[in-house]
Structures are given as structure tokens and as C-alpha cells.
């Protein structure tokens, strides 16, 4: 199972919005509405921020939103804040009933 494709890095200024893409195939992202997103500050435990494409867990800011079109899922962060600077990973259910991650995207808040 090949990793999902994410941009290596994105950046934005405080208050702006950014979008991170996550591209797979019809055997993973495109075939199921089971895409999730994780925020990872280095040295800390990763944190779930979006599940089932567009659902936010309790306690996660509504500045985080998710969507999907075809084989590509997207994470949008609006009203960027300094504490959003982190690595972001997408994950998808696959035909083999196991997960696959994206390569990760480093978000820099300028």
C-alpha cells in the first residue's frame, strides 16, 4: 500500500486560511468516507482533528474543516494561529481494511 500524497510544506500568515491536500486512489481515499487528519507537534502525541472526512471531535476548534472530492481529501485551517504550526497527516481506510498515512505536511505560520 503506497502512502497517500501530501505537500511537504505549506505556510501562511496569522489570520489567513490554508488548505492541505491528500491524494490517494479509488482503493483508499476515493473508495471510502474514512479519511482522518492528525496534528502532530514534534515530541508530543499526535492528535485527531478530523474523522470520517469532515467530522470534528469534541474540543477541536471549528477553524479546522475537512472535505473530499474524488481521490483527494483536503484539510482547511482558517484564522491561522501560531499554535497551529505543526505537522499534519491524513490517513485513510484501504481495501485491505488497514490504514495508510500520507507523507505529512509541515505547516509554518509566518
Per CB under 8 A, residues contacting another protein are: 1, 3, 34, 36, 38, 40, 44-48, 51-52, 57, 87, 89, 91, 93, 96-104
Given the complex with another protein, which of 28 and 84 has the nearer CB atom?
28
* C-alpha cell recorded at residue 72: 483527494
Nearest to 77 by CA among 58, 89, 55, 62: 62
Cβ proximity to another protein, 48 vs 110, nearer residue: 48
Could you tell me the smallest distance in angstroms from the CB atom of residue 97 to another protein?
Answer: 5
Residue 63 grid cell: 477553524
Residue number with CB closer to another protein (41 or 79):
41
Quote the DSSP letter at residue 44. S
CA dihedral angle for residue 82, residue 56, residue 65, residue 33, rounded to 10 degrees: 140
Provide the minimum distance between the beta carbon of 104 and another protein in the complex, in angstroms, as a whole number.
4
Amino acid at each position: 500500500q503506497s502512502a497517500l500524497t501530501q505537500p511537504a510544506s505549506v505556510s501562511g500568515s496569522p489570520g489567513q486560511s490554508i488548505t492541505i491536500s491528500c491524494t490517494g486512489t479509488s482503493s483508499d481515499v476515493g473508495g471510502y468516507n474514512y479519511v482522518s487528519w492528525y496534528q502532530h507537534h514534534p515530541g508530543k502525541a499526535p492528535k485527531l482533528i478530523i474523522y470520517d472526512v469532515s467530522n470534528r471531535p469534541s474540543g477541536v476548534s471549528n477553524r479546522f474543516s475537512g472535505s473530499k472530492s474524488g481521490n483527494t481529501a483536503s484539510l482547511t485551517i482558517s484564522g491561522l494561529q501560531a499554535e497551529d504550526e505543526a505537522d499534519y497527516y491524513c490517513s485513510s481506510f484501504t481495501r485491505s481494511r488497514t490504514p495508510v498515512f500520507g507523507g505529512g505536511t509541515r505547516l509554518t505560520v509566518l
